[in-house]
Amino acid sequence: MKIYPYKRLNRSVTLRVTSVSLRLADGTRDPLETTAYSTQQQAVALGIAGHDDWVSATIGLSATLPPGVNAPDAPWSDLQVLAVLTDGETNTRTSVELRRDTGDGRDWSGSLEVLRDEHVGRASLAVHGVATVDGVQGRAVAETERSWVIDTVSEEPTRGLQLDVQKASFRRSSREWLHAYADAPWIVDVSARVPTVFVNTDVEGVMGLLESSGSGVDSKVRDLVVTQMATDAWTAVFHGAIGDLEVEPGGGPVFPTDWQGEVLREMLPDVIPGVHVEEALREVHRRRTGDSGWVELQTRIHYAAVRRADAAKALAYAIRSLEQMNRGSDT
């Protein structure tokens, strides 16, 4: 939890997406259905309509500030509410001022324009309440606890980890770096814009297994293999995210705004349980860059990856199927 040298609101801003529409290349607008955004996931999927020619998206917003923001004795003045869209991949930052719905209310609304040419994947949308405090303008007095994800390509509004799975012959691939892993069934590459799992087609039977659609033992083995791939992927992306953190002038780590930030927010509660995610991030960063504690943390990281991959469920299904087959063969 950050410490500020001035008074702030104790609770966070609540942000809701109220509408989404696309402006197409021919100048027409396509209002998207409510399935394009999810309040539970806090995500917007701009690819849901299947348009290849959209130019920009208009996202309607509604924000509610915490109680006390309008108190007569509040230590701030000149309150403004800003919606800020940040894209770490393209180094783009867009802000728009929201309007107060009523003269003395806590609800603010407005819309934000998302230009397609300025984004290649996912951007992060947050709302900040800023005001003049102790004579200093532009001080943040409240903000959203968790940003919304604005995904310019996805067809489903989810903030979960998005993986690209590609097939490749590791021995003959034009990606020469894969040659060194010729005996591996798959490799996770976290250096790409979207984390990518490369599946080695040189390993006999692996593609047939992964692409099978049967319901027998093969399907259970396939589920176990996919679960192992997912565990490897979650472990790799966590290490990739934690190893590429920006650091504030004071030495504290900053949450990334792209998929890396989402991975950290998903896994940190299992890696450092019982504390706020920002404090957990500082603790993990301290251990990784310090003299001790990083090795001991690997068990927690692996545990967090196993949970995200639903490994226990896949194993239970496989064991249950084998038991049923064994009982059937005994009769």
For residue 319, the model assigns a pLDDT of 84
CA dist 314 to 266, 320, 326, Å? 20, 10, 18
Pairwise CA distance, residues 279 & 244, whole Å: 18
**What pLDDT sits at residue 114?**
96
Q: In whole angstroms, what is the distance from residue 85 CA to residue 93 CA? A: 6
Start-end of H helices in 189-310: 206-210, 217-242, 259-271, 277-289, 298-308
Residue 87: strand pairing partners: 92
Pairing of strands 43-45, 148-151: parallel
Rounded to an integer, what distance in angstroms lies between the CA atom of residue 59 and that of residue 113? Answer: 6
**CB 256, CB 245: distance < 8 Å:** yes
Contact 173, 202 (CB under 8 A): no
Distance, CA of 96 to CA of 82 (rounded, Å): 6
Tell me which residue has tokens 């609304």.
109
Per residue of the chain (331 residues), what is the pLDDT tens digit?
Answer: 466 788 898 889 999 999 999 999 999 999 999 999 998 888 999 998 888 889 999 999 999 999 999 888 899 999 999 999 998 778 899 999 999 998 788 999 999 999 999 998 888 999 999 999 999 999 999 999 888 999 898 888 887 666 778 999 999 999 999 999 999 999 999 887 778 899 999 999 888 888 876 666 777 788 888 889 989 999 999 999 999 888 887 778 988 867 788 788 889 999 999 888 889 999 999 999 988 899 999 999 999 999 888 888 888 877 887 787 777 666 5
**What string of DSSP letters covers 289-326?**
HSSSSTTTTHHHHHHHHHHHTTHHHHHHHHHHHHHHHH
